[in-house]
Amino acid sequence: MRTTSIKIPIYFGRLVIIQTNDFKSLDKKFDIDVDDNQFEAFVFYKEIDEVDCYHIVMKEGDVRLSVIAHECVHLANEVFIKIRAKLDPYNDEPHAYLVGWFFTEIENFLKK
């Protein structure tokens, strides 16, 4: 299992990136319910030590860029839900910025 935690600029909280082939092992650690390893990746929110943490969990090995982009939208939406911001299709720059930032950080993690 590989993991990292990165401070999210502007919106606060942390992005936690986890790469593992044993999704089930995260059940007890984070008190979540993962059925099995049927997904290539998934996201979840968990407050840890009073810090908002937005997690992405991915299988080890190559992860399709389309999957990462998909999960980045979920991550950004979780942040917007937490801060009670509304998505505005006429002013979507804040959302697009955050999706792009998540993608870049995950891409950098995978390159290491």
Closest CA to 14 of 54, 73, 46, 64: 54
| Residue keyed to tokens 């891409």 | 107
Domain ranges across the chain: 2-111
pLDDT of 36 strictly over 70: no
Range scoring the smallest mean pLDDT among 3-7, 32-36, 49-53, 58-62 = 32-36
Separation of alpha carbons 48 and 33, rounded Å: 17
pLDDT for 67 equals 96
